[in-house]
């Protein structure tokens, strides 16, 4: 009885229907082969026991020895046969031990000797329950059944002729390699992403399409995200490098692999709309760079130091006004020229960073403000972008929208080898940051849905893969800056001499601390700074005063303050209370 009335029932009472009936049963058995696997294995074990008892009853010790060996192999090397978790290896080992023991007893006593049949039936059912409940198995079966309908799906989404070549289920969803049809390209697959999301039954934004690593034009990797691996923030694990020659780790891709990128002799761009996570990315980068003893850090923060001031104790020079920014970049060009002259005299081509000859990295926050407030500084930045690679003088710029007006000079943006694109509002902004045509090729930063998520384009990362940067909160910034302040290097002799020569022979530029015009004016400023340093040390509380506070009190750079503290420490006039905190010692009168 059905909704629309009584339906006829056909009875199979003729042999001509038997092949159809058998084929239908076979199709059902194949479709549900994963669910029927425990009963299939139990039947095979029963048949094996019958064969052993009838023809090879004396083999029961051999079966027992093979069982013990297989159990040991699964326990020790099970991860190499797709059993990564200990509980999975334990289940496989226990099941193997059960089947091998039953076969041994069946060969010795007979498979139908009580209670062996009951033990096999009850054991099969109990061991089948974990198999049926296993999440990865159920996910694999669901994916196989979904992809079995791929010809119909391909026809519906406009990729007729394509085929699924392989599929892998992981913790967050699944991915499959797609062989494209004749004349189809990866761009065609990218444009079909919204239709794929509908056909595969995923959430919006749950499908990723990207070229394969081998760069074959008729292949594409399709990834289906069912559980967002980047739904929650990722805590910063600490600095990943101790030298600028090592690739920095900026975050994690969706598959859990780290985002590593070399920064030596490279300019970098951090871009995205307000609130997308640029500042968090810059903080993570600074957390790594401040741990390197072969890097001098200069910084420009035209928000009056709101963003970069917490790192002041690790930054050798911090500019917070347009005039200071212009002077800083002018001095960077002087250092660049001085290093180039030194390399020429040495007969070398590149500046190799070391603690004695550190690289110079200049971080500019809100680069658009620099272009509008200090247009002369852009000329210096342009020179650094074009010539800074060999002398290891590099720029790292952060801005919301790197348009021609915001960047000031086209050479700066074109020289940015490393580009991190956080969320943008419009697709055209993605092309502006990453390069013309990148959005059409699958780089779609306008679809990023959380702060800290980004796409990275660099010589090592030429495939669009979503990533999320680590979270380094304000307390973590303060603790990291205090820890790394005591290991920061000083400016190398070549660069320092270049600055001195420029101060003596060229017209002075406005500086944030000491005026570079007449010598006596500089001497007076230094004496005033020393007096301010002594006063700040005498007035320090019991736990000491930080180098950042001493920099603000004296108006001098971190290198000068740290060197002066070292001199006073050798003279037994100051002591280091904790890492990065100092105070004056009481006067000692020698009788």
Low-confidence ranges of the chain (pLDDT < 50): 506-520, 588-591
Residues 512-526 pLDDT 10s = 433 344 444 556 777
Residue 397 and residue 268 in contact, taking contact as beta carbons nearer than 8 Å: yes
Q: What is the pLDDT of residue 396?
A: 93
Q: What is the pLDDT of residue 3?
A: 66
Q: What is the pLDDT of residue 588?
A: 45
Dist CA 269 CA 275 (whole Å): 16
Residues 220-241 pLDDT 10s = 999 998 888 888 889 999 999 9
Residue 160 and residue 154 in contact, taking contact as beta carbons nearer than 8 Å: yes
Consult the annotation and say whether 277 binds a ligand: yes
Lookup result for tokens 């697959």 = 189
Q: What is the pLDDT of residue 16?
A: 64
Consult the annotation and say whether 272 binds a ligand: yes
Token pair recorded at residue 552: 């603000």
What is the rounded end-to-end Cα distance, in angstroms, of the chain?
117
Consult the annotation and say whether 279 binds a ligand: yes
Consult the annotation and say whether 275 binds a ligand: yes
Alpha helix (H) residue ranges in 32-149: 33-55, 60-77, 86-109, 116-133, 135-148
Q: What is the pLDDT of residue 507?
A: 41
- Mean per-residue pLDDT of the chain: 85
Consult the annotation and say whether 198 binds a ligand: no
DSSP string, 4-39: TBPPP-----SGGGHHHHHHHHHHHHHHTHHHHHHH
β-sheet bridge partners, residue 269: 397, 419
Q: What 3-state class would DSSP assign to 458?
A: strand
R_g (Cα) of the chain, nearest Å: 34
Lookup result for tokens 């002594």 = 534
* Residue 368 Cα distances to 126, 277, 373, 491, 504, angstroms: 67, 17, 9, 28, 32
Residues 258-283 pLDDT 10s = 999 999 999 999 999 888 888 899 99
Consult the annotation and say whether 274 binds a ligand: yes
Of the candidates 119, 124, 188, 179, the residue with the CA atom closest to the CA atom of residue 147: 179
């Amino acid at each position: 009885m059905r909704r629309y009335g009584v339906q006829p029932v056909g009875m199979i009472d003729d042999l001509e229907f038997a092949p159809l009936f058998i084929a239908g049963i076979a199709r059902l058995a194949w479709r549900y082969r994963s669910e029927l696997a425990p009963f299939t294995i139990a039947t095979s074990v029963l048949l094996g026991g019958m064969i052993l008892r009838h023809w090879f009853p004396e083999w029961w010790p051999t079966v027992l020895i093979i069982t013990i060996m297989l159990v040991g192999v699964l326990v020790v090397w099970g991860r190499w046969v797709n059993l990564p978790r200990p509980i999975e290896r334990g289940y496989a080992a226990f099941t193997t031990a059960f089947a091998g023991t039953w076969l041994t007893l069946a060969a010795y006593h007979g498979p139908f000797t009580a209670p062996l049949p009951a033990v096999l039936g009850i054991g099969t059912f109990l061991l089948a329950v974990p198999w049926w409940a296993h999440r990865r198995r159920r996910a694999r079966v669901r994916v196989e059944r979904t992809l079995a309908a791929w010809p119909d799906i391909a026809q519906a989404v406009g990729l007729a002729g394509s085929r699924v070549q392989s599929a892998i289920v992981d913790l967050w969803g699944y991915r499959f390699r797609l062989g494209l049809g004749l004349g189809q390209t990866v761009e065609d697959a990218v444009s079909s992403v919204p239709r794929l999301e509908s056909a595969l039954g995923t959430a919006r934004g749950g499908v990723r399409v990207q070229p394969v690593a081998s760069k074959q034009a008729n292949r594409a990797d399709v990834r289906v995200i069912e559980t967002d691996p980047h739904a929650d923030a990722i805590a910063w694990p600490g600095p990943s490098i101790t030298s600028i020659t090592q690739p920095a780790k900026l975050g994690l891709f969706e598959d859990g692999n780290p985002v590593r990128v070399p920064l030596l002799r490279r300019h970098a761009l951090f871009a995205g709309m307000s609130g997308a996570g640029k500042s968090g990315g810059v903080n993570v980068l600074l957390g790594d760079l401040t741990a390197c003893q072969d890097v001098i850090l200069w910084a420009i923060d035209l928000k009056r130091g709101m963003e970069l001031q917490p790192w002041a104790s690790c930054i050798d020079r911090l500019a917070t006004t347009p005039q200071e920014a212009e002077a800083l970049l002018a001095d960077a060009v002087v250092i660049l020229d001085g290093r180039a002259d030194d390399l020429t005299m040495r007969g070398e081509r590149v500046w190799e960073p070391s603690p004695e000859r550190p690289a110079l990295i200049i971080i500019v926050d809100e680069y658009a403000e620099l272009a509008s407030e200090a247009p002369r500084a852009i000329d210096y930045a342009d020179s650094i972008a074009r010539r800074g690679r060999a002398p290891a003088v590099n720029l790292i710029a952060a801005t919301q929208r790197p348009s021609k007006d915001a960047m000031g000079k086209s050479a700066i943006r074109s020289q940015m080898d490393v580009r991190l694109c956080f969320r943008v509002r419009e697709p055209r902004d993605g092309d502006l940051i990453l390069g013309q045509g990148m959005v059409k090729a699958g780089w779609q930063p306008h679809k990023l849905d959380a702060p800290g998520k980004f796409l990275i384009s660099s010589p090592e990362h030429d495939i669009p893969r979503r990533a999320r940067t680590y979270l380094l909160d304000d307390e973590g910034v303060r603790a990291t800056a205090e820890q790394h302040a005591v290991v920061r290097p000083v400016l190398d002799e070549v660069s320092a001499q270049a600055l001195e020569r420029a101060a003596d022979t060229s017209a002075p530029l406005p500086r944030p601390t000491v005026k570079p015009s007449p010598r006596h004016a500089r001497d007076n400023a230094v004496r005033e700074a020393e007096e301010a340093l002594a006063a700040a040390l005498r007035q320090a509380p019991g736990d000491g005063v930080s180098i950042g506070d001493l920099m603000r009190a004296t108006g001098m750079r971190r290198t000068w303050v740290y060197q002066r503290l070292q001199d006073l420490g050798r003279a037994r006039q100051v002591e280091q209370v904790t890492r990065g905190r100092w105070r004056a010692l009481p006067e000692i009168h020698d009788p």
